[in-house]
């Protein structure tokens, strides 16, 4: 597995957990989780840098452009 794929899997899992929190009636925690994900994605869009990608790249290899 490469960093970008792991990052997308983690994002999907985080969204699933947030949906579960919302459906279980824990709306404040779901709102907080959604807010944090929005901040992370906005920072990534504006700066091109992502903290989770930096952390994951220390343990996993980057995806090759040629494999896509």
Q: What is the mean pLDDT of residues 49-67?
A: 80
Would you kindly state where each structural domain of the chain is located, as residue ranges? 3-56
Share of the chain above pLDDT 70, in %: 94
Task: Label residue 4 by pLDDT band (50, 70, 90).
Answer: confident
pLDDT at 66 over 90: no
Inter-CA distances, 62 with 26, 31, 65, Å = 36, 31, 9
- Token pair 């504006």 is found at 46
- 7-40 pLDDT per residue, tens: 999 999 999 999 999 999 999 999 999 999 999 8
Residues 53 and 4 sit within 8 Å (Cβ to Cβ): yes
């Amino acid at each position: 597995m490469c960093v970008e794929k792991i990052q997308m899997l983690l994002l999907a899992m985080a969204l699933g957990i947030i949906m579960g929190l919302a459906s279980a009636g824990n709306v404040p925690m779901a709102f907080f989780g959604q807010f944090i994900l929005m901040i992370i994605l906005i920072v990534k869009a504006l700066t091109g840098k992502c903290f989770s990608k930096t952390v994951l790249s220390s343990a996993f290899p980057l995806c090759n452009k040629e494999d896509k």
